[in-house]
């Protein structure tokens, strides 16, 4: 009889703990690491383990000269946006300036990697794949027609996005990730006819 009581008590204890964990999850308590823009957008605020472990990654931590385009110098005024990867190991961000710096921040080491520089243009939206291995982002170049770029986090390679029509009057934007690795669904809007279509393409390393 006492054995049954102990088992029942243990079961109730497990159920109570599960209920507490579920309640915490549903109340939106953040997991860590986490990252957000500072109110003045001059720093990225990184919370590593708990609310008391806060680090700042500031504009001064960025390289002054581009490694992708040597001779091009950055003078960013503020961070534009930041997005945490699903596995919470990296965050991608962009800056606001005449030359837009696009970087990936390793949250464990707080080390930055320059992945792109956009001259006379802006990054609009970042998109992480579910496995955190691939990054896609919409950007607006000087031409005024939206385009999509992509990057492989593991290999460090810029990825080619098919259907980039160059100077054609098309807005090409990210719609969704496809069913296969590196598959991307693009939304393509023809400005001349106002017709929209979707097209699934496979990202590939640039040659």
pLDDT tens profile 137-193: 999 998 899 999 999 999 999 999 987 655 678 999 999 999 998 999 999 999 999
Q: Where are the alpha helices (DSSP H) in the chain?
A: 2-26
* Strand ranges across the sheet with 54-58: 34-37, 43-47, 54-58
Given a cut of 50, the residues of the chain with pLDDT beneath it are: 2, 6, 10-29
The chain-wide mean pLDDT, for the chain, equals 85
pLDDT at site 190: 92
Give pTM, 2 decimals.
Answer: 0.81
Residue 48 is predicted with a pLDDT of: 81
Q: Are 88 and 30 in contact (CB under 8 A)?
A: no
């Amino acid at each position: 009889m006492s054995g049954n009581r102990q088992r029942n008590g243990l079961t109730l204890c497990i159920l109570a703990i599960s209920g507490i964990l579920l309640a915490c999850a549903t109340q939106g308590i953040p997991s860590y690491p986490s990252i957000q823009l500072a109110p003045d957008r001059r720093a990225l605020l990184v919370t590593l383990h708990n609310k008391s472990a806060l680090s700042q990654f500031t504009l001064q931590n960025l390289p002054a000269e581009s490694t992708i385009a040597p001779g091009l110098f950055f003078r960013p005024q503020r961070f534009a946006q930041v997005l945490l990867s699903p596995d919470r190991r990296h965050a991608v961000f962009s800056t606001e300036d005449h030359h837009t710096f696009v970087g990936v921040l390793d949250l464990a080491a707080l080390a930055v990697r320059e992945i792109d520089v956009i001259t006379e243009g802006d990054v609009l939206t970042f998109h992480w794949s579910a496995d955190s291995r691939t990054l896609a982002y919409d950007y607006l170049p000087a031409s005024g027609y939206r385009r999509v770029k992509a990057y492989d986090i593991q290999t460090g390679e810029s990825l080619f996005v098919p259907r980039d029509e160059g100077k054609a009057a098309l807005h090409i934007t990210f719609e969704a990730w496809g069913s296969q690795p590196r598959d991307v669904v693009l939304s393509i809007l023809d400005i001349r006819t106002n017709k929209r279509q979707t097209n699934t393409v496979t990202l590939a390393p640039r040659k």
